[in-house]
Chain A
Amino acid sequence: MKTNKKARVYNSPIVDSILSNISKEELEITEGKMRLAMKIADAIKAKGFNKKSDFAKKLNKQNSEISKWLSGTHNFTTETLMLLQNELSINLINSEIEVKVELKCIYIETKAPNKNNSFNLSSLFTIQKPDYVQKYSFCPV
């Protein structure tokens, strides 16, 4: 090589100006679409469809439809995602419902005949701390 000069890094004012008007959320949506397209493209290959046209034929679609799906610009319908999920054996829609309950305090009302009587409330319970609970305590009311 006659020279080993690195390329000059150019900061384009017009690109900067347009990027500054695009929100982080908009960029994330575009990234999500592109990553989804990548996941589908990888799965098509992993399933042994070496040509896009083979996969199009399998789904009875036009090649241009597959190109659109893989372009990273497409807004998929649930129907299309379900179709791809089934054909490609990948998870594109997570339909499992995950519920997290944060138990902050348990209030127990007791009818004690005498206010001076006391008992150890925690001894009434056997509590096993689940993994998703970081800490728990009995709250004095």
Chain B
Amino acid sequence: MECELVKLDKLSNDETSIYSLFIEEENKTLFDMFIEENVINHKAEVEDIIKRLHNIGKVGARIHFFKVNEGVPGDGVCALYDNPNSYLRLFCIRYGTQIIILGNGGYKPKNVRNFQEIDKLKDENYFLRKVSKEITQRLSEKDIIITKDFKDFEGDLTFNFEDYEN
């Protein structure tokens, strides 16, 4: 599956650049898919997530706005904080306060304690872990760099992952 790291125009702002993965065969990003999959049943929550992301662009991706340690140690995989009366979990990869990559996520019922119990959430989370691992590899090989202002990626931003299933 061909995909590309793209910068989201309306959400990125002075403090934080917000990225997502554009899936070529779907012609949309993982975050677009998250919205499409949830906007009908959870419109208010989707709007709330977009309001928060829009403001993260302005104020910075502070760690306390996220639920951290949703991946393996050090991979930056986290989720946007979901308050006790919300049902949606949106996975992201956070690089300090200035870059986040939005993935997909989904519905997490209140009676489920761990997201791993829901196949959809597990798949989306594990896919982001894979993306993070690949980016880390490319950063170490300098195929990708983070710019001097810490706000952007540059370099080889296209990927080919075999096993993403939406």
A contacts, CB < 8 Å to B? 1-12, 14-16, 18-19, 21-22, 26-27, 30-31, 34-35, 37-38, 41, 67-68, 70-74
Give the nearest-CB partner of A16 in chain B: B10
Which chain A positions have C-beta within 8 A of B29? 10, 12
Name the 8 nearest CB pairs between A and B, nearest first.
A70-B64, A10-B6, A71-B81, A30-B51, A11-B9, A7-B7, A31-B55, A1-B142
Interface assignment of B108: CB less than 8 Å from any CB of chain A: no
Complex: A10 Cα to B102 Cα, angstroms: 13
Chain B contact residues: helix, strand, loop or mixed: mixed
Q: Is there contact, CB below 8 Å, between B156 and A5?
A: yes
Distance to closest chain A CB from B134 (angstroms): 15
List 24 contacting pairs A-B, 8 Å CB cutoff, sorted by A: A1-B142, A2-B143, A3-B156, A6-B152, A6-B154, A7-B154, A8-B6, A8-B7, A9-B6, A10-B22, A12-B32, A14-B32, A14-B35, A15-B31, A22-B47, A27-B51, A30-B51, A37-B64, A37-B65, A38-B62, A67-B67, A68-B84, A71-B83, A72-B65
Q: Is there contact, CB below 8 Å, between B10 and A1?
A: no
Which chain A positions have C-beta within 8 A of B5? 7
Interface assignment of B91: CB less than 8 Å from any CB of chain A: no
Distance to closest chain A CB from B165 (angstroms): 21
Which chain A positions have C-beta within 8 A of B84? 68
Which chain B positions have C-beta within 8 A of A8? 4, 6-7, 22, 157
Give the nearest-CB partner of B17 in chain A: A7
* Contact A73-B48, Cβ < 8 Å, known A1-B143, A7-B154, A10-B9: yes
- Contacts A14-B28, A15-B8, A27-B55 given; 12 further ones with Cβ under 8 A? A1-B143, A1-B144, A2-B143, A3-B156, A4-B155, A7-B153, A8-B7, A10-B8, A12-B28, A15-B32, A16-B10, A74-B83
Q: Is there contact, CB below 8 Å, between A73 and B81?
A: yes
Partner of A18, one of B35, B62, B65: B35
Give the nearest-CB partner of B11 in chain A: A15
Complex: A38 Cα to B62 Cα, angstroms: 8
Q: Is there contact, CB below 8 Å, between B83 and A41?
A: no
Give the nearest-CB partner of A18 in chain B: B50
In the complex, which residues 137-155 of chain B have their Cβ closer than 8 Å to any Cβ of chain A? 142-145, 152-155
